[in-house]
Chains A and B, each alone.
Chain A
Amino acid sequence: PALGLFLFTIARDPLRIIILIAGAFFWLVSLLLSSLIWFIAVKASDPQDEPLQKGLLIFGVMFSVLLQEAFRFLYYKLLRKAIEGLVALSEDGCSPISIQQMAYVAGVGFGLMSGAFSMINLLADALGPGTVGIHGDSQLYFLTSAFMTMVLIFLHTFWGILFFHGCEHRRWWEIMAVVVMHLAVSGSTFCNPLYMGSLVPSYLLMAAAATWAYLLSGGSAQNLRRFLLCK
C-alpha cells in the first residue's frame, strides 16, 4: 500500500520525491543516533544480564521514538524555510507545494523508511528456505510483521500530517498527542507474541489518526460520501 501511495501521489511531482527522500533521510539519521545511544548503553552494561538487556532495549525503543519525533520537528522547520524560498522564487507568488502536501509527503517518507528497515531483512530471509516459528515462536511471524509494518507506515503518514498541522497552528496538544500515540504504538509491540495486544490497538489508533488527519485536511463526511458515490 505504501508503494501504491508513492506511485500514485508522489511520483508525478519531482519536488515531492525530493521531500520524500529527505524525509527518509531524516528518519534514518534519527535511527542512527538512537542506535548509537543504545549501542553505547549496551556496551557499557553487562551483556549477560537478561532483564537488564530487555530494559535497555525498551529504553532504546522509547528514546528512538522521541528522537524520531524530534527529527520530524526539525524536518518541519526545514520545510518551512524551504517553502519560503520556493515562494520567493516562484513567478506568481505562491508556492508550488503547500505545507499540507509537504506534511503528507514527509509522513510517507518517514513511514517508508521505517517500514523498509523493519521489513526488508525479513523479506530477504523469507525468500530463502525455512519454516516459520520452528523454535516455538509464533507461526504468524511474517504475517503479523507485514501487518504491523503497514500500520506503522500509515501511522507515520498520518502523524506527519497531524504533526505539521499542530506546528502550523501552534497547538501543542496535537503534537503531544502524536508523540503519545507513537509511544503507545511502540509500547504495544512489547507484548508482542501476544498479537492481540499490539495489532488491534495499533489499528484502532490508526483509524483514529486517519479520521483526525482527514478532518484536518479539510475533508468532511460529505466529501466522503460524494467521493464514494462518485458524484
Chain B
Amino acid sequence: MITFMNNSDSEEEPCNERTSLMSAESPPVPSYQDGLQTAEAGEAQAHRKRRTGSSRSPNNIADGDVSDLGVPVRESALENEEEELTLKYGAKHVIMLFVPVTLCMIVVVATIKSVRFYTEKNGQLIYTPFSEDTPSVGQRLLNSVLNTIIMISVIVVMTVFLVLLYKYRCYKFIHGWLILSSLMLLFLFTYIYLGEVLKTYNVAMDYPTLFLVIWNFGAVGMICIHWKGPLQLQQAYLIMISALMALVFIKYLPEWSAWVILGAISIYDLMAVLCPKGPLRMLVETAQERNEPIFPALIYSSAMMWTVGMAKPDTAARGASQQTWDAAEDGGENPLHADSQMSETRSPGTTRPITSFEELEEEERGVKLGLGDFIFYSVLVGKAAATASGDWNTTLACFVAILIGLCLTLLLLAVFKKALPALPISITFGLVFYFSTDNLVRPFMDTLASHQLYI
C-alpha cells in the first residue's frame, strides 16, 4: 500500500515465511507486517492529528500559545501552497520511489537469472499445503485456489491479531516481535542467500569469514532499521531484505498459486485499506486517536532525515503533518523526542514554529511505501523472469507495467491525500502484461526476430 504511509498486508508474509521455515524449531512469530501497518498508521494518524489539531495536540504544547486564529489562517494559506507543492514535488517523489523499486527488482531478477537455487522446487511452505503436481488442470486450479485462501486467511488473522495487540497497547510484544522477525530475516536468509550465490560462482569462503561478514551485515542492519542510521543505508537494507523475502517467495510458492495469491493480495489490500471495517483502517484510526508514534522499520521512506534538535521537533511535528503526508523519515523517533523536548522549548518554540514552518516547505519530504509492496512487486517480476519462456521481454514488460501502476497510484495519492493501497493497480497491470506478453507478444517477437524484421 502506498500511503504517504503505506500499509501493506504483504508485510505479514515475511513473518509467515519465516515461521514456516522455522516451524520445526520455534513458535510462530507473528507477522510484523501488522506492526508495520500499525506503526505506519500511527504515524500517519499522528501526523494528521498534529496537522489538523495542532493547537490542541499534546505534541505541540508550545504551539498552544499560538493563537487559534493564527493556526487556521496559516493553514488555509498553506493549503494552496501545499497543493502546488504536492504536485510539484510529485514527480520527485515518484522518482524517489521508482529508484528503490527498480533496484529491488533488479536484484531479484539478477539473482533469479543466475542462481539456480531459487528456481528449483524444493518443497513448499506449510501455508500452501496443496501441491500443484496434479495431473489435471482442474485439480491444479483448485489446489492453487485453496492455497491462496489459506494464505490470505493467515494474513487476515495476523493482521487482526496485530490490530488487537495495538488496541490493547501491548507495545512490548509488538516491538519484540518486530525485532525477532527482522533478526531472523537478516541473519538466516542472508546466510542462505550468500551460500547459494557463492555456490553458483564457485567461490570458496571459509566459515570464520562468513561468520564475520554475516554478523556485521546483520548487526548493522538491525541498528539501521530499528534505531538510527544514515538514511541511505537504511534504505539499502530495506531493499535488501525485501529482495530476500521476495526470493524466498518465488522459490517456495508453486506457480499457479503465486499468480492467484498476487491477485488475491491486491484485492485484500484494496479492501483492508479502504473499507471502514478493514483492519488496516481500524489500525489507522486507533493510532490517530492515540496520536502515537509508529514503530520503526518495515516501511520504506524516501525522505530526508530530520535532525533532532531544539527547534526541529516543533517543526518536525508540524511539518510532518503536511497535507500530503510527506512525512519525515524516522518520524517514529522524532515525536517521542518532540514530546520530551517540547516542554523545555516552550517559550522559544512559540515563535519559531511559524517561521520554521515556511522553511519546511523547502526541505525534502518523502513518501512512504510499505515493504510488502516492494516484496510483491519483486515477486511478480521475479516470477516473470523465472518462469516465462519469453524471458527478458516479459520481465521488461512487467517492470514497465509496475512502474506505471506506481505512478498512477501516486497520482491518486496526491489527489486523495490519504492512505492508499499500492498493490492493486500495479499488480493488475503487471499480471495483465505478464500474461499477455507471454502468450501474445512472444510468438510475434520471436517470429519477427527470426526473420530479422523490425517494427
Interface residues of A (CB under 8 A from B): 13-15, 17-18, 21-22, 24-25, 28, 31-32, 34-36, 38-39, 42, 57, 60-61, 64-65, 68, 85-86, 89-91, 96, 113-114, 116-118, 120-122, 124, 141, 144-145, 148-149, 152, 185-186, 189-190, 192-193
B207 within 8 A of A: no
B440 lies within 8 A of A118 (CB): no
Q: What total count of A-B pairs have CB within 8 Å?
A: 112
Chain B CB count within 10 A is highest, among A91, A121, A192, for A121
Tell which of B162-170, B374-382, B389-397 binds the partner: B389-397
B212 within 8 A of A: no
Interface residue SS majority, chain A: helix
A35 lies within 8 A of B441 (CB): yes
B453 lies within 8 A of A189 (CB): yes
A120 CA / B109 CA spacing, docked (Å): 14
B454 lies within 8 A of A25 (CB): no
Q: Which residues of B contact A13 (CB under 8 A)?
A: 91
Q: Which residues of A contact B393 (CB under 8 A)?
A: 117, 120-121
Q: How far is the CB of B384 from chain A (nearest CB, A)?
A: 13
Q: Which residues of B contact A15 (CB under 8 A)?
A: 91
- A-B residue pairs in contact (CB < 8 Å), sample of 7: A15-B91, A57-B447, A65-B455, A68-B455, A89-B83, A121-B390, A192-B452
Chain B, 419-455, contact with A by CB distance < 8 Å: what is the 0/1 string? Answer: 0000000000000010011011101110111011111
B403 within 8 A of A: yes
Tell which of B7-15, B92-100, B121-129 binds the partner: B92-100
Q: How far is the CB of B124 from chain A (nearest CB, A)?
A: 29
A38 lies within 8 A of B92 (CB): no
Q: Which residues of B contact A144 (CB under 8 A)?
A: 452
Chain B CB count within 10 A is highest, among A25, A38, A85, A145, for A25
CB closest residue in chain A, given B450 = A137
CB closest residue in chain A, given B403 = A21
Q: How far is the CB of A210 from chain B (nearest CB, A)?
A: 18
A128 CA / B396 CA spacing, docked (Å): 20
B447 lies within 8 A of A118 (CB): no
Task: Identify the 5 closest CB pairs spanning chains A and B, nearest first.
Answer: A14-B95, A35-B444, A14-B91, A120-B392, A15-B91
Give the residue of A118, A190, A193 whose beta carbon is less than 8 angstroms from that of B449: A118
Chain A CB count within 10 A is highest, among B88, B95, B437, B444, for B444
Contact A57:B91 (CB < 8 A) given known A36-B440, A91-B84, A121-B393: no
CB closest residue in chain A, given B444 = A35
Contact A61:B455 (CB < 8 A) given known A32-B440, A90-B88, A120-B396: yes
Contact A57:B451 (CB < 8 A) given known A18-B95, A21-B400, A21-B404: yes
CB closest residue in chain B, given A62 = B455
A35 CA / B437 CA spacing, docked (Å): 9
A32 lies within 8 A of B88 (CB): no
Chain B, 389-420, contact with A by CB distance < 8 Å: what is the 0/1 string? Answer: 01111001100110110010000000000000
Give the residue of B84, B403, B436 whose beta carbon is less than 8 angstroms from that of A32: B436
Q: Which residues of B contact A57 (CB under 8 A)?
A: 447-448, 451, 453
A34 CA / B391 CA spacing, docked (Å): 20
Chain B CB count within 10 A is highest, among A28, A68, A89, for A28
Q: Which residues of B contact A68 (CB under 8 A)?
A: 455
Q: Which residues of A contact B392 (CB under 8 A)?
A: 120-121, 124
B84 lies within 8 A of A18 (CB): no
B21 within 8 A of A: no
